[in-house]
A and B are shown apart, each in its own frame.
Chain A
Amino acid sequence: MVDNRPTPLDMISKLRSATPARIFLPRAGAALTTRATLDFQLAHAEARDAVEERLNAESLFGDMSSRGLKVVCVRSAARDRRSFLLRPDLGRRLDDESRERLKSAGGDYDLAFVIAEGLSARAIDRHAIPLLEKTLHSLDRTSWKIAPIILAEQGRVALGDDIGETLGARLVAVLIGERPGLSSPDSLGVYLTFAPRVGRTDAERNCLSNIRPQGLTYDEAARKLLYLCSEARRRQLTGVELKEEAETLASGQLRTIDEKES
């Protein structure tokens, strides 16, 4: 007589699809098999490469200009990748020349978008323009005065404070490459700050995280970002206080700042 009942092993394999975690890996003795080891090495190599890559500002500038977007390029005070990694304070501050350039682009703006590579230029290359276009498309341009798009090299989240303050923007949205994970070297984050000025804390921002086709989709991210923007303007704030309501209404995925990229 054949026993057709599923064995515990069968039942376990059904759970495999429930998580992206590296579960049920084969082992050789007490260690991983060759293939599983090399798969891990490859993922780490991709994440490392993503961290080292630099934003191709020139090509992105061209791409955005050809779509009719007005763009201003700036740099943070971090000169190279090493100082960007070791001196977060420099990545949060404009260099002097950029500050002057921004001043001349200053005006009376409701909202400024900043694009910064953060820790993954790859995330910007892949997801910044699609997300920006979806968001801009749905913004009512009669009631939202939008600043030129700011393309920032070697920027951290808080560079948006310096940029927003220098430009004279009431709200700043920083699209930034998040710290790459092994399974997500190209995750994009958006940090929204009302009344940006140097010295704002992370608790005063709202964050959308893990934006990429396998995570939070462009459509969803744009919808949530638009919601946050209008709520921020209506309530004249961003951060912890805005989060709670927004979370109920937008059902999850909204977080205040984690420590991924700040």
Chain B
Amino acid sequence: MYATTIRGTSYRFPDLKTLMAKATPLRSGDCLAGIAATSAAERVAAQMALADLPLSTFLNEALVPYEEDEVTRLILDSHDRNAFAPIASLTVGEFRDWLLSDAADEESLRALTFGLTSEMAAAVSKICRNQDLILIAAKRRVVTGFRNTLGLRGRLSSRIQPNHPTDDARGVLASAIDGLLLGNGDAVIGVNPASDSPEQCYELLRLLDDLRETLNIPTQSCVLAHVTTTLQLMARQAPVDLVFQSIGGTQAANSSFGVNLALLRESREAALALNRGTIGDNVMYFETGQGSALSANAHWNCDQQTLEARAYGVARMFDPLLINTVVGFIGPEYLFDGKQITRAALEDHFCGKLLGLPMGCDVCYTNHAEADQNDMDDLLTLLAVAGVNYVMGVPGADDVMLNYQSTSYHDVLAVRRMLDLAPAPEFAQWLADVGLTDTQGEMQRQAVPASFAPLLERA
């Protein structure tokens, strides 16, 4: 039982997950689940009670039962008490103050990584304003590598997302080339296949690998098929750089995605054995998003933001190259409008970074959400200030296969210019070598390098 009294009114919260849910800034998904605060005052009361809670509480009271959930077991069993020691005596509120203080610098935040559990990160995010989420996250860079170095300070990378409604090879290639000409694609060239047929995925993998090899691009490719499909393709020697999988914050949510921890381990081992990375061995690519557990009825009456942070607790055990929250894809019943989408994205980025993940974000919305491209402009800028590792580059921001809007190749250019950010160093060098950027690193106009000719002739 947790309680607080404000001006004579007492508020009671029967357990930790209720307290966490009621302390969560308003969002439609928690309302849909019936666990949100019932008034604005109750929400702040919960935040006050949460702020007074010792961080160590989260080591003693599990939100999802330890015995029934392998994600809870993973999070608690991997907790590092030595790393936790510097903050062990703090309350959640004191922890926020510490995170904002000069004592929390790049080094101390890195040292803290495995001393934090997902729930601790979620709890402190709930009492942070958006500004705090940005300010704190900006201190913590997470650097990963495969064929290039991602996540360095002063860099912003992007995924080329060249989806096509029928996986047409020339159509995918056209979108990918467009992205390269605009300096995108250093995070990954990654296609969501329209069909989950292994044959089709194999063809796409070969197409992307051929593109990368022909142009000698220091980047990686990925076909975002289910992990079982990718395992099957790896067994057939398909050119798999990264293993992709959507994951969630409970065992049941992962079940609904058709995965478990053992399967993720197996796929990582298989990808490592291919030994395709040149400068690093981060071989996993995860996607997540608030609301996925609730939509699978796998949420244990926990709020969606805490469960999202628990998905990061899963992800970090697999040393991913990339992870992004697909924040606005799920629809207005989980995140209603631009304001809720923005808040959720900043929370996700913050929690992910504190937990040691190379966070990216699909800054996006669907057409039935109360949001538009202006909201995405705002969010993209905020995330870039917060130091997000990468965002999506979708031609014209319009994904013609998944039917939602994200950020465009042009948006990536604009934000890089606004905030003086550069692509990954190896990729930036490639852009300069092939003549796509000038000596200042600015994109050239109308430049289609002669080195693209052999590829285009085949297309």
Contacts and interface: CB of A to CB of B under 8 A. Distances in A.
A19 interface: yes
A8 B417 CA distance: 27
A30 B413 contact: yes
Nearest to B365: A44
A119 B368 CA distance: 8
A181 B397 contact: no
Of the listed residues B367, B408, B446, the one surrounded by the most CB atoms of chain A closer than 10 A to its CB is: B367
What's the dominant secondary structure at chain A's contact region?
mixed
Interface stretch (B165-173, B222-230, B356-364): B165-173
Contact of B164 (A21, A36, A43, A47): A21
B410 A51 contact: no
B398 A43 contact: yes
By secondary structure, the B interface counts as mixed
Given A22-B397, A86-B333, 6 more contacts: A21-B396, A22-B398, A23-B395, A44-B405, A88-B333, A181-B399
A236 interface: no
Identify the interface centre among B163, B177, B445, B450: most chain A CB within 10 Å of its CB: B177
Interface in B314-331: 330-331
B403 A181 contact: yes
Contact-residue size bin, chain B (C-beta under 8 Å from the other chain): 35 or more
Given A181-B367, A183-B398, A8 B405 contact: no
List 10 A-B pairs, minimum CB-CB distance, nearest first.
A22-B396, A181-B403, A19-B171, A15-B174, A11-B456, A8-B448, A18-B170, A47-B367, A30-B413, A18-B171
Given A19-B168, A30-B410, A40 B174 contact: no
Interface string A171-208: 00000001111111001000000000000000000000
A9 interface: yes
A25 interface: yes
26 contacts: A8-B448, A8-B452, A11-B456, A11-B459, A15-B170, A15-B174, A15-B177, A20-B171, A21-B400, A22-B395, A23-B178, A30-B413, A30-B443, A31-B410, A32-B408, A40-B373, A40-B397, A44-B372, A44-B373, A87-B333, A182-B398, A182-B400, A182-B403, A182-B405, A247-B197, A255-B195
Interface residues of A, number: 51
Interface string B438-452: 000001011011101
Contacts of B175: 19, 21, 23
B417 A25 contact: no
Contacts of A18: 168, 170-171, 173-174
